[in-house]
């Protein structure tokens, strides 16, 4: 999306990959074995990354528990950024990353809409001042190409531990300050 409001092109469109984290979280909810707070089951954050492999379907799937290479907290926010980034733990292969907190971008409630009786759309807006000048671990230019949705803390782990519930690699795009990137993600139950 450009500053004048134009949305000139659709960069990528495909189906979601619902991960086993969704199953674990819902099983905890229905069995009463997880958190007793309903807001812990809400999808309130997302992560972006730069190592998703859309051409290799074996690198991701329902068993994915994390992005292949998620952005660090400092990579999301640059001068003028409007993103709200929090750090907390993530559940990876059944284990909380208690010693290594990672960055999560908050999804404003205004960007979560019920579009049908069985569908919810999450509109993720990466404003023009966010995720600029990305480089990988070797200092090379990095293009955004993976995104994940996360539940807040469905397993009631202390400290707070989020769970990846949906994942999608997409066609790489290098984020510059000339546009905002808008990801519209619909989950249907």
Per the structure block, which two tokens stand in for 158?
């202390």
The pair of structure tokens assigned to 61 is 């799937």
Say how far apart CA 141 and CA 172 lie, in whole Å.
12
Residue 57 pLDDT exceeds 60: no
What's the pLDDT at 78?
84
pLDDT-derived band at 136, boundaries 50, 70, 90: confident
Are 2 and 179 within 8 A, CB to CB? Answer: yes
Q: What's the confidence (pLDDT) of residue 81?
A: 93
pLDDT exceeds cutoff 70 at 1: no
Q: What is the pLDDT of residue 23?
A: 85
Q: What is the pLDDT of residue 101?
A: 73
* Residue 4, pLDDT above cutoff 90: no
Q: Could you tell me the pTM of the whole model?
A: 0.86
- What pLDDT, on a 0 to 100 scale, did the predictor assign at position 15? 64
Calculate the average pLDDT of the chain.
Answer: 86
d(CA 35, CA 17): 24
Q: Is 20 helix (H, G, I), strand (E, B) or coil?
A: helix
Segment 104-123 mean pLDDT: 96
**Residue 12 — very low, low, confident or very high, per pLDDT cuts 50/70/90?**
low
Backbone angles phi, psi at 12, to 5 degrees: -160, 145
- pLDDT per position as a tens digit, 70-93: 999 999 988 899 999 999 999 988
How far is residue 156's CA from residue 189's CA, in Å, rounded to a whole number? 23
Q: Answer yes or no: are the C-beta atoms of 7 and 1 closer than 8 Å.
A: yes
d(CA 70, CA 136): 10
| pLDDT at site 7 | 66
Over residues 125-148, mean pLDDT: 91
pLDDT digits (tens, 9 = 90+) for 151-160: 999 999 999 9
Question: Whole-angstrom Cα distance, residue 173 to residue 2?
Answer: 15
């Amino acid at each position: 999306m450009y500053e004048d409001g134009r949305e000139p092109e659709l960069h990528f469109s495909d189906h979601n990959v619902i991960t086993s984290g969704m199953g674990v979280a819902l099983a905890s909810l229905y069995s009463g074995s997880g958190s007793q707070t309903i807001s812990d089951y809400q999808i309130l954050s997302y992560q972006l990354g730069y190592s998703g492999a859309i051409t290799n379907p074996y690198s991701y799937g329902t068993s994915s528990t994390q992005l292949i290479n998620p952005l660090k907290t400092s990579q999301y926010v640059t001068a003028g950024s409007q993103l709200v980034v929090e750090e907390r733990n993530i559940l990876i292969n059944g284990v909380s990353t208690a010693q290594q907190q990672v960055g999560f971008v908050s999804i404003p409630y205004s960007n979560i809409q019920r579009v049908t009786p069985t569908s919810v759309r999450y509109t993720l807006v990466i404003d023009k001042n966010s995720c600029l000048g990305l480089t990988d671990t070797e200092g090379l230019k990095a293009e955004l190409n993976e995104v994940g949705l996360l539940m807040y803390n469905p397993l009631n782990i202390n400290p707070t531990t989020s769970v990846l519930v949906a994942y999608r690699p997409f066609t790489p795009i290098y984020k510059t300050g000339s546009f905002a990137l808008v990801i519209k993600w619909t989950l249907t139950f």
